[in-house]
Structure 1
Amino acid sequence: MILYRPTGQKELDLVSASGFKRWPPRLIDQPIFYPVTTFSYAEKIARDWNSILPAPNNFGYVLRFEINRETADRYSVQQAGGRDHEELWVPADELERFNDGILGVMEVVAIYRDGQRVE
């Protein structure tokens, strides 16, 4: 299953430190890790939310990654608003197990700054 994750600079730095192989533990106020199922939904969040924070955190990234079938089957896809807003909901206490199901390495597929795509 191919998934996307919109993220800001701090989370990207932690993912980079793992060699782009693992998502960092959730903060206490983040009970669910939710990658999304489409690039367009991830792009909207990265562009319209992550990239409009005050500098130096005014970057939004979209990461693409793949999980194995066993991991994909463990979690349900949830609709978060519109028809194209689908998320895979992973309880925070299962994130390490989820990370074990990532195939290969994550890839940064888009970067946004101040609401604009950076080429």
Structure 2
Amino acid sequence: MKAVTLYRPIGEKELILIAENDYKAFPPRLEWQPIFYPVLNEEYAAEIASKWNTTDEFGNYLGFVTKFEITEEEFKKYKVENVGGKIHNELWVPSKDLEIFNQNIITKIEIIKVFIGEKFKQTENDQVQHYIDQLKT
């Protein structure tokens, strides 16, 4: 089975939900979020996590980069959209398809980078603290 590696920038709340799913699935999108968009390269995911997630109060001013593999067959079902510069490529998965998308994740969702915003004070979650201690940039 062929696989495609994808990345997703997330904040603290999404990390906690992923951990509750044993790092096997992304949480459902919120009602107002029509798409789930993992990105195609680590550089772009790190750009979003460091510039956007670290300024977001909802994500506790933390930005994490996740990495995972999905079946090539599932990947090919969706459009790749360029949303800006050369590296800004996203896989646009309709929110209604996220459950099936999750079922086609081959590896556990791995946390590979963390970025800490200026307004971050502390976390009350032990797993989040573990990643902060382990991956601080």
Q: TM-score normalized by structure 1?
A: 0.93
Say whether residues 1:13 and 2:1 are aligned partners. no
Structure with higher strand content: 1
User: Unmatched 5+ residue regions in structure 1?
Assistant: none
Say whether residues 1:81 and 2:84 are aligned partners. yes
Across the two proteins, how many residue pairs are aligned to each other? Answer: 118
Q: Which runs of 4+ in 1 moved over 6 A?
A: none
Contact 2:10/2:63, CA 8 A, preserved across alignment: yes
RMSD: 1.6
User: Unmatched 5+ residue regions in structure 2?
Assistant: 119-134
Paired AA for residue 55 in structure 2:
I
Say whether residues 1:118 and 2:121 are aligned partners. no
Q: Which has the larger radius of gyration?
A: 2
Residue 70 of structure 1 aligns with which residue?
A: 73
Q: TM-score normalized by structure 2?
A: 0.81
Q: Give, in angstroms, the shift of residue 31 of structure 1.
A: 0.4
For residue 60 of structure 1, give the secondary structure of its aligned residue in structure 2: strand
- Structure 1, residues 26-85: CA drift from partner, whole Å, max 9, x if none? 001100000000101000100001012349701100000000111111111110111110
Say whether residues 1:46 and 2:64 are aligned partners. no
Identity of aligned residues (%): 42
